[in-house]
Structure 1
Amino acid sequence: MEPKQALKILTDLISIETVDQNESQVADYLTHLFVPFADRAQLKRISFAPGRDNLLITVGTQGPILGFSGHEDVVAADKDQWQTDPFVGTMRDDRIYGRGASDMKSGLAAMVVAMLDLLASNQPLPGRIRLLATIGEETGEYGANQVVQQGLVDDLAGIVIGEPSNLQLEVTHKGVIDYCVTSVGLASHASKPEAGQNAIWPLILFAQKVHDYFEQATISDPKLGQMTHVLSQINGGEQINSVPAKAQLTGNIRTIPAYSHKQIYQFLDNAIEQINQADDAQLTIEYRYPEPPLPDQSHNKLVLVAQGVLQNKLHLPGEIIAGTGATEACEYVKVPNMPILVCGPGEGISDHQDNEWVSIKNYLLGCQFYEELAWQFWKDQLAK
């Protein structure tokens, strides 16, 4: 494919505003691209909600299946803070600007370009590629969860997630646990605190217990470092001269394999129970979008093949890295023994920021990388 055509696919995707909705428009656009190859590409839509469709595209008819994964949604953009329209892919100074340019419509577009080039070559394909274009990654990885629950990744020999990594090989990343603790008390006039029950104090006790726990959680992962915890929000009370009847606290935990999520839940649940019993409090805890960490994939065959492609074909370092942010790998790890790699053309510098961008050079290299990776991965699988 000519670079001009490949760049148009990316700018077209950026122009589709998919801030936690409208992903079906991306599915429509991608479907249109594969119409000329309808006899050799199988398309399957999986609806999550009205206007929100996952799209699976499989090319090839036999042999090992390599998964390509890219999410269709993006985070919000404040247009007043951008130098260009965030929902118009703008090429300037060897970069493409727009919301999703890095995270991760460039990865999705590069995967699509690679698949279209494979089909256009008219060469017999020794294996298959299945693209998973998913909804809702930025708010809970709903699409990836849906395709995993329906068994649509069970037959993959490996999967590459096109999140921004500057074409480095991200082989592990932290998991995440978000939680919200609600405290219910009893309102009274501040001049008569004995007549009420302060909802804020139990949260302070909880915060101290959690702080002490994470201070003692000193195991460090060789690539990811230590588990981290942030108390991210706290609010409560009605006015300054009243005993607060309700208050809430939220926290964000970035986990590592050394501490299981079950172990962390047990600690947090026990802390809630202890405070409720000892202080006659009414605390409840809710967990939101928990995702496990990606265990180290350094030595799986997919990573080794990808490293060889980057070094020998594209003359790039093929550096192994670790990430702190969660990806859809948190869902794909539920498939036992499936090799997983995070690697995409986005540099990861401007993700979720104003004036988000991807370099044109990196994007076009990404198109080459995914196509060459498919050939080399199939060759390696069939040599077994």
Structure 2
Amino acid sequence: MRVKSILKELVVLTFVVFAFACSGSDDGSGDGNGGGGGGAAATSITVTGNPSSALTGEAVTFTVVNNLGTDVTSSSVLTLGGAVIANPYTFTSAADFTVTATNGSLTNSVTINVQEASTPTALTLTTNVNDFWFDSGSAAFVVTDNFGVNQTGLVTYTAESGTLTNPATFASAGTYNVYATYVLPDGSDLVSNTVVLNAVASTHTTKVMIEDYTGTWCGYCPRVASSLEDAVNQNGNIIPVAIHDDNQMLFPYANQMESAFGVNGFPTAKINRTTTWNENFNQLSSHINTRQNMGLSITSSLSGSTITAEVNVHYDLKASSDNRIVVYLLENGLVYNQVNYYNGDSSSPWYQTGNPIVGFVHDHVARTVFTDVFGDAIPAADSDTGSTHTANYTLTVPGTVQDTSELELVAFVVGPDNKALNVQKADLGENKDFD
């Protein structure tokens, strides 16, 4: 019985040892990454150079990737003729050079063809932009020689303000003549063409227009009227326009505008024809603080029943897209009863003022336009840096106007998306200069 017991223990022990040995199988790599350990081990690497054909003095950047697709450049060693080299590496002579990458036990080589850089005889300087705000913009340069070789990093850039960086910035506004200089092997200078840059200062205030879509029948409309009046009192650069869709003061183009600008209910107030105003002054701040490329001036007069107006648009900086101009004729002081749903609301400024409010005074009421309601095109030549577009208009006073002494003009520039970019307002007969 004792012998059988010992044989049984030996069998069990033999099984345990065999199982333990199988659990630690060896793939022959000696790194413990094979079998049931980690992922598959890399078996090869590939080194590439960018560019594969270079000029003397031009840096080549090497990349090493293993057969698993992993970038192992940082853990690889690069050698040239047995000597370790940096990455990127600059070749100083012309020949075919073999660079070898080593990563652990894996190696691979690449041949870089290096040619002697020809001495240039001409340089061409170009820039990504010629006009920009001096205090927030810059101009980036590219220089190529007569062989088509990029010399951007091998030249010096100079203007009236001195040596420039690339991209170039300027401490003050002005017109700058920039050229590039390349030092030739004999020590002489090769100079490029001159590029003229306009580093521009802003001279115009940004103003914001709010078009209030309203009607005497609209019981909620007095709320927006109050909010708009408060906003104008807080900042005179907010310019209101009331677009009436009612029988008393109907603006002829109200329905067209409602469709174009997504006005689906009343009251609706649109900031610069795009954003619906939430009646909070803070929403207007970003619009007021956005610098615009242009400003406007208005001059007008009345002779009999004919209004003559001149509107100028001056561009500090070239327009980035097609622009159009719109000019409204507005009237203040129109008295019509106004439906008022806030008569019983003690938190409203219209509390207990009646429903309707008898003798409600409507201001900034759009009567007609001197232009197309969506704008007349401003020629591209007139919207260049430093240019001024001048538009002259004559208009017969509409029969709906009640008091010509209460008329005012609002002129504004819009972009291709119909967004108003900058606005100006002047009373009829007032000469409102750029500001």
TM-score when normalising by structure 2 = 0.20
Going by fraction, where is helix more abundant, 1 or 2?
1
Q: TM-score scaled by structure 1? A: 0.22
Q: Write 1 or 2 for the structure with the bigger share of strand.
A: 2
Q: Which has the higher contact order (CA 8 A, sep 6+)?
A: 1
